[in-house]
Structure formats: C-alpha cells, structure tokens
C-alpha cells in the first residue's frame, strides 16, 4: 500500500516517523520526570504513584507496548537512515571538512541516541525487572504502608493504609552507588543533548518550522532541555549527596 511504502520506504517518510515517535518519547520522558520528581515529597506520593501505575494492569501494558513500538520504530528509522546517508556520501572523504552552521548536537544524534538506548535497557533492568541491583529492588525491600490517600484528579486511587512497594527507597538506595548515579547523570545529559537537536528538528521535519521564529524555537527548546536535564540531575544528585534519604 502506498501509505506504508511512502512512510517506511522514503527518506522523508522515515523522518516523519522519527519525528512522530520522537514527540511521543519526549512526552513520555517529560511526564516520567514529573512523576519522578515526587521523590522529593512525602514517600506517600511517589510510592502511591508507582502503585497506582502498576495497578492499571492492561492499560499499563498497552502504554508500555506503545512506547516500546515507538522506540523500536524510532531506532529502526534512525539506523536505516544513518546507513543510507553514509552510503550516499560515497567512498572518498573530503580532505578538509568544514562545519558551517550544523549544531554539535545534530552531529551526534546517533551516538547520543544509542547511549540513551543503553541507558533505557539498564534502567529497565534496574527498576522494572530488578536484575541489575536485586539487593535494592523494590520487590526485595520491606513494603511501605500508605499514611494517607494518593489522589489523582481528586479521586483517591490508593487508599491510606494500603501496603505498597517502596519505590522511593529503591531509587534512593540505588543511587547511593556512585557509579550508577554518575551513569544516570551522563545518560540523561546525553539525552538532553539528543533532544537539543531533536526537539527543534522535529518541527522542521513535520514542516512547522520557519526562520521567522527560528530564534524563539531555539530558546524554548534550549530552556526545555536545560530544565529537563536539571530535573533529572536532581534525583541521583540529591541521592548521592545524601539530601534524599
């Protein structure tokens, strides 16, 4: 069918897929960060939040599968394009290569992307499956009893007294390991760099970008990436410095 052939076959089609999946992924990581920042509040919050997510059951799986699909498509397209692009360059490299206005982040999308991939895998192993640090994995920690209700839009989704997994301790204990914390910091740093180009680039790819407001877009994207980085830095950072306990 034309639609599929064009989207998955053509260079622009693949870029459109990357942009679309990119948007979803940005949405996820942003939301995820917001959720994670609850670690700084009363243990009720993040533990309740996590319990609530787990309790969604099939819905959660739907989301997981969707996200997985996005990452897969995103990586697939990125990789295929990367190979095509290298092929297009041809054998003989330039003796002198000048970059004129391409941003640094745009030149390392592949590498930053793959580090992020590695990170995600480790991350899942650590906090979702629990093979990375079994010792401090939520399942193996003493359960936590909710002191109050956890509310979403006013509805108490996790009632007071419920006994839930202690995600908060898992995270904090996990980050007590300097290496782990540092790896996180580097990874989210690179992800932010990835987004520095990505979040701008997607507007061009989707055809919504114009030099009229290029400057503005740059500012917003840079601010977003900075904020995103700091937010993500805060958690392992605080854990390392013992602010979180």
Partner 1 sequence: MTTKTFNVTLRVWRQEGPGREGRFVEYAARGVNPDMSFLEMLDVLNDELAARGEDPIAFSHDCREGICGTCSLVINGKPHGPNRGVASCQTYMRSFKDGDRIVVEPFRARPFPVIKDLVTDRSAFDAIQQAGGFITARTGSAPEANAAPVAKEVAELAMDAAQCIGCGACVAACKNSSAMLFVAAKVAHLGLLPQGQPERDRRVLAMVSTMDGLGFGGCTNQYECSAVCPKLISHDFIARMNRDYAKAVFRSALKPVAAGGGGA
Residues binding partner 1 (CB under 8 A): 1-3, 6-7, 9-16, 81, 84-103, 106-107, 109, 197, 200-201, 203-211
Binds ligand HEM by CB under 6 A, chosen from 14, 17, 43, 74: 74
Q: Sort 139 into a burial class: Cβ within 10 Å, 0-12 / 13-18 / 19+.
A: exposed
What SS3 string covers the chain? CHHHHHHHHCHHHHHHHHHHHHHHHHHHHHHHHHHHHHHHCCHHHHHHHHHHHHHCCHHHHHHHHHHHHHHHHHHHHHHHHHHHHHHHHCCCCCCCCCCCCCCHHHHCHHHHHHHHHHHHHHHHHHHHHCCCCHHHCHHHCCCEECCCCEEECCEEEECCCCEECCHHHHHHHHHHCHHHHHHHHHHHHHHHHHHHHHHHHHHHHCCCCCCCCHHHHHHHHHHHHHHHHHHHHHHHHHHHCCCCC
Q: How far is the CB of 190 from ligand HEM (least distance, A)?
A: 10
Judged by beta carbon distances under 5 to 8 A according to partner kind, the member of partner 1, ligand HEM, none in contact with residue 140 is none
Out of 22, 144, 180, 193, which residue is the one contacting ligand HEM (CB under 6 A)? 22
* CB nearer ligand HEM, residue 1 or residue 119: 119
Q: Which of 17, 19, 132, 180 is close enough to bind ligand HEM by CB under 6 A?
A: 19
* 47: contact with ligand HEM by CB under 6 A: no
**Number of chain residues interacting with ligand HEM (CB under 6 A):** 45
Interface mask toward ligand HEM for 104-133; x: CB under 6 A: -----xx--xx-xx--x--xx--xx-----
Which residue, 1 or 241, is less far from partner 1 as judged by CB? 1
Task: Point out which residues bind ligand HEM (CB under 6 A).
Answer: 15, 18-19, 22, 25-26, 29, 32, 36, 50, 53-54, 64, 71, 74-75, 78, 82, 109-110, 113-114, 116-117, 120, 123-124, 127-128, 167, 171, 184, 188, 191, 194-195, 197-199, 201-202, 205, 232, 235-236
């Amino acid at each position: 069918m034309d639609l599929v052939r064009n989207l998955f076959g053509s260079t622009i089609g693949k870029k459109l897929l990357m942009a679309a999946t990119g948007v979803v992924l940005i949405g996820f990581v942003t939301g995820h960060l917001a959720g994670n920042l609850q670690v700084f509040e009363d243990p009720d919050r993040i533990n309740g939040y996590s319990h609530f997510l787990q309790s969604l059951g099939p819905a959660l799986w739907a989301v997981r599968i969707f996200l997985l699909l996005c990452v897969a498509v995103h990586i697939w397209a990125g990789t295929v394009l990367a190979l095509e692009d290298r092929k297009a360059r041809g054998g003989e490299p330039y003796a002198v290569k000048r970059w004129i206005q391409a941003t640094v982040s745009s030149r390392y999308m592949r590498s930053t992307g793959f580090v992020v991939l590695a990170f995600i895998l480790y991350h899942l192993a650590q906090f979702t499956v629990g093979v990375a640090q079994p010792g401090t994995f939520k399942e193996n920690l003493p359960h936590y009893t909710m002191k109050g209700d956890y509310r979403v839009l006013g509805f108490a989704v996790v009632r007071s007294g419920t006994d839930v997994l202690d995600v908060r301790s898992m995270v904090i204990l996990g980050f007590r390991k300097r290496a782990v914390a540092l790896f996180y910091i580097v990874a989210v740093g690179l992800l932010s760099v990835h987004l520095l180009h990505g979040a701008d680039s997607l507007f061009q790819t989707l055809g919504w970008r114009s030099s009229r407001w290029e400057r503005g877009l740059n500012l917003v994207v840079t601010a977003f990436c900075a904020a995103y980085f700091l937010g993500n830095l805060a958690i392992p950072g605080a854990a390392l410095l013992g602010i979180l306990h």
